[in-house]
Chain A
Amino acid sequence: MNDIFSNPVLAKALPEAIIETLQMVGISSFFTVLIGLPLGVFLHVSAPGGLRPMPVTNRILSDVIVNITRSIPFAILMVALIPLARALTGTSLGPVAASVSLSIGTIPFFARLVENCLRDVHHGKIDAAQVMGSTKMQVINKVMLRESLPALVAAATTTVVTLVGFSAMAGLVGGGGLGKLAYNYGFQRFDVTVMLVTIVLIIVLVQVIQLVGERISRRLDHR
């Protein structure tokens, strides 16, 4: 126990690492939902047999962008996106720059989850909404999104948990955070205490996210 509190690395670098990790996860979660949600809605709505079928656009988005992006391992995607991060944020280092590749890596993933959530909304509900005179936007907002909200929250939770994992990887190529701490001190300097503490912290972080997400999802679910 003494070891943990007297460890100079932990005392000095841990608070900063925690903040950097939270920044990376926070910023990239925000942009993932901001862009991934509409993208997922579009994928669902524009699919053949959907509310507003657009076969060609849907094909391009679905097959080309989403599937290709998802098939590149994140470690490679992250390195490949460093120039883009520099162009957007002015730097290739730090949590903000890392959030660019983190967001781009998880947006297609989240969009697919959203698409699946929407597909699970019973078709009868959409018929009912249309028969009562809903516009397409009203069907999307008042039926599709509203009815799948518990599932969407669960999907967002899964995505944020994934982002925690990715953020540790991003730490290695300049993102900072707990991943970098574990690698620099725990791995390269054989500081077992640092390694254990970061692992425990990441587990706690994931648990908290999962717990909060499930709690919200359950509260929203009236089925």
Chain B
Amino acid sequence: MITVTDLRKVYQQGKKEVVALDGVTLSVPKGSIHGIIGHSGAGKSTLVRCLTLLDRPTSGSVSIDGTELSSVKDSEIRAARRRIGMVFQHANLMDSRTAAGNVAHPLELVKTPKDQIRTRVAELLKLVGLEGFENAYPSQLSGGQRQRVGIARALASDPDVLLCDEPTSALDPATTDEILDLIQDLTKRLQLTVLIITHEMNVVKRVCESVSLLSGGRIIEHGALRDVAADLDSKLAKALLPLPPSESLPGALQRGPVLEILFSGDSAKEPVLTGVARHFDIDINVLAGSVETLGGQQFGHLRVQLAETADADAVLAYLHERGIGAKRAASAAAQDPDNAGSALPASVLATGDQGGIS
């Protein structure tokens, strides 16, 4: 289990102070994968450097299973670092070492006997599915294989925490899935605590049990994946269940109110839309939709347009009664200025950032 409490990092840039991390607090239990997502410049790299003690945080604490890391003396910093295994975006393998040599590297540093290194390296390469590649140099391996070597190397010192910094951002989609599956499998098998720092929502969707949204050096949203996804107002939900921009369809419903509806869990299985149509005796058009399974639960995110005659507030109340997230859609004025006035009645939501993080 890793706990980060009120972590702050302030850089001096000339006379100016740059606050890179502004009180980051998070906690990841053993055996689970936590995603930290954010745009570039959000403080992701600084967070990584503070967690691995490559940079000392200005204040705050990082602790693993109750052992404080951020305040260790310089002489103990190396032992502390060995409790964190790190996987890099570009694997950062040594080109002069073979796959086996790279995995052996952390073991050599603490003078592990040669025969022990040999058995451990064979074990680790098998663990990541690279048997038979012992003598291959990184240049002879594919990107995915290099990342596997990187993971084996990160695990060599038996760390409690695996910190993955954009582990799949340099890989193609198929390889990304393979590597994520491997990380997920290892997390369960070795009871690791895993932090994945990424800008790819896809990574979060696929393996993370919980997620934090980092922005401007602060965590502005966090929680279990199923909880944040179920919150229609959260930025993470928008990013997890993105809707394409859509214009209202031409025809009968063109002037009707537009709603956003979010089904989760059991409600996703109910025939809600037809229920609304029958109950209010109105027509409904689906403008956009997105369906995902997140954290083992089904989610559906829809943008629908009701008939002009429909009472949007009554529909919203009807949906809320059944535990379904629903609200008036954010203004589409930015996408479609001509239609904005007519298509969307007095839109209540000021913030309409569509895609969220992607």
Contacts and interface: CB of A to CB of B under 8 A. Distances in A.
B215 to A, nearest CB: 25
Given A132-B157, A133-B109, A138-B109, A124 B78 contact: no
A115 interface: no
Query: In this complex, which of A127, A131, A143 has the most chain B Cβ atoms within 10 angstroms of its Cβ?
Result: A131
A2 B3 CA distance: 87
Nearest to B107: A132
Contacts of A131: 52, 54, 81, 84, 86
A124 B92 contact: yes
A90 B228 CA distance: 82
Given A146-B94, A222-B96, A133 B139 contact: no
A147 B86 contact: no
A130 B92 CA distance: 12
A23 interface: no
A189 interface: no
Contact of A133 (B81, B88, B92, B95): B81
A138 B105 CA distance: 10
Interface string A130-148: 1111110010001100110
Contact of B86 (A122, A128, A138, A142): A128
Contact of B79 (A133, A134, A149): A133
Contacts, number: 68
A142 B105 contact: yes
Contact of B92 (A122, A138, A142, A223): A122
A90 B93 CA distance: 51
Interface residues of B, number: 28
Interface in A108-138: 122, 124-125, 127-135, 138
Contacts of B313: none
A125 B79 contact: no
Contact of A222 (B54, B137, B157): B137
A106 B139 CA distance: 34
A133 B157 contact: yes
B95 A222 contact: yes
Given A130-B54, A131-B81, A220 B96 contact: yes
B235 interface: no
B110 A129 contact: no
Nearest to A149: B96
Given A124-B90, A138-B109, A222-B139, A130 B95 contact: no
Contacts of B94: 125, 142-143, 146-147
B82 interface: yes
Interface of B: 52, 54, 78-79, 81-82, 84, 86, 88, 90, 92-97, 105-106, 108-110, 137-139, 153-154, 156-157
The 3 closest A-B pairs by CB, nearest first: A124-B92, A132-B106, A128-B92
Given A127-B52, A132-B109, 17 more contacts: A124-B90, A128-B92, A129-B105, A131-B81, A132-B105, A132-B153, A133-B110, A133-B157, A134-B78, A135-B78, A142-B94, A142-B105, A146-B94, A147-B94, A149-B96, A222-B137, A223-B139
